[in-house]
Amino acid sequence: MSRPTPADFTRAPLPRFPLLLGPTPLHELPGLRAALGGPTRCPRILVKRDDLAGPALGGNKARKLEYVVADAQAQGATHLVTVGATQSNHARMTAAAARLAGLGCVLVLESPSESPAREGNLLLDRLLGAEVVIVAPGPPGVAENPNEAAAIAAAMERIAAEGGRPYHIPVGASVPLGVLGYVDAVAELEAQLAAAGAEATRLYFAAGSRGTQAGIVLGARLHGAGWTPHGVAVSPGDPEKTARAVALAEAAAELLGSDVGIAPEDVITHQEMIGAGYAIPTDESRAALRLLARTDALLLDPVYTAKAMAGLLRHIRDGHIAPDETVIFLHTGGVPALFTAAMAAEGQH
């Protein structure tokens, strides 16, 4: 496989608020490879441990929030305001980042219950001192929940009326500034592969709001990565989500002073692991979660990484990936969701 030439780009001096504690580990999964038939049947599998990125049980949002929180500080913000589900990893990480930056934090979280159980990420949100506003789900088929929008607007207005300056972060910090976090992650990964003398052919990861995917695709192009990004969708929404990833990647490239182009065909997203919908485990994702725990003591989460790993496992078992390849799995975090009543029930099977 020929290695692409890195694109030329001039990086603007964009500030970052430090949330990472150094490069996240990259290591092999020998137990999984053995369970899948060994070197004659299974590729070498490396895992990039972004579940260890940042504070408060970490995750991929730490990389995005480094840039977003720095921008909030530059604008004189006193509070961060964001949105998500009650088990949102992004909400938890925003609460942690706000605490470290000395900012207030308001989380608008969607739940069908007016009093959702204080467990998993929601427990950590409150432990971190975030103000939590629970809103009902929006009408079926509506892209933007009007209840969320109204609650965000009310929080922003109240903070401003009290003399503060609120800073709104869209869901998942999937904005051009946030995308830069995964452009950096690709450079970090490339350095680790070079140090290990490894040449990877594919990178698998969970694709949700597509900010991480945009950064990976852009980063692979800018840094001349020899592997192909493979997103595994955890929720429906294509082709609109692919168009969003392209737009985010191009906007992030502009921030870096690059005119590199990203096309929809550059954004590979496998759709077969979505199942009944977002945050609803499938038989394959449950099996993947149990398998990784028992082969390599690696804990996945039920919403994102278990579905992404299920996609990788299916491609290996179906013979789409040759045994002589080296594949990277990006662990984007989300482990707090394991500690919920729903997942405790799943664990009994």
Domain architecture of the chain: domains with CATH: 26-59+175-346 (3.40.50.1100), 62-173 (3.40.50.1100)
Task: Please name which of 283, 334, 326, 231 lies closest in space to residue 29, comparing C-alpha atoms.
Answer: 326
Structure tokens at 3: 């290695």
Which CA distances in Å does 3 have to 91, 131, 225? 38, 48, 7
Identity of the residue numbered 60: N
**What's 15's DSSP letter?**
-
Helices then strands (H, E): number in the chain?
Answer: 11, 10
In the prediction, which pLDDT does 144 show?
Answer: 81
In the prediction, which pLDDT does 349 show?
Answer: 46
CA distance 338 to 346: 9
In the prediction, which pLDDT does 197 show?
Answer: 96
In the prediction, which pLDDT does 3 show?
Answer: 58
In the prediction, which pLDDT does 140 show?
Answer: 78
In the prediction, which pLDDT does 190 show?
Answer: 98
Q: Which residues of 232-267 are buried (b: 16+ CB within 10 A; e: fewer)?
A: bbbbebbeebbebbbebbbebbebbebeeebeeebb
Q: What's the Rg (C-alpha) of the chain? A: 20
Which CA distances in Å does 60 have to 30, 149, 334? 24, 25, 9
**What's 5's DSSP letter?**
P
Residues facing residue 104 across a β-bridge: 79
Residues in Cβ contact with 247 at an 8 Å cutoff, skipping those fewer than 6 apart: none
Task: Please name which of 5, 25, 34, 7 lies closest in space to residue 292, comparing C-alpha atoms.
Answer: 34
**What's 172's DSSP letter?**
G
> Which residues of the chain are modeled with pLDDT < 70?
1-13, 141-143, 342-349
Question: What global pTM score does this model have?
Answer: 0.94
Task: Please name which of 11, 79, 329, 325 lies closest in space to residue 189, comparing C-alpha atoms.
Answer: 329
Can you say how many angstroms the Cα of residue 320 is from the centroid of all Cα atoms in its chain?
A: 25
Residue 239: is the preceding peptide bond cis (ω within 30°)?
yes
Q: What is the largest CA-CA distance in the chain?
A: 66
In the prediction, which pLDDT does 139 show?
Answer: 84
Element of type H or E holding 167: strand 166-169
CA distance 246 to 309: 24
Task: Please name which of 10, 49, 16 lies closest in space to residue 300, comparing C-alpha atoms.
Answer: 49
Which CA distances in Å does 40 have to 181, 215, 254, 321, 325? 36, 33, 44, 12, 11
Q: Which residues are marked as active site?
A: 88
CB 28 within 8 A of CB 44: yes
Burial of residue 139 (CB within 10 Å: 0-12, 13-18, 19+) is: exposed
CA distance 266 to 270: 13
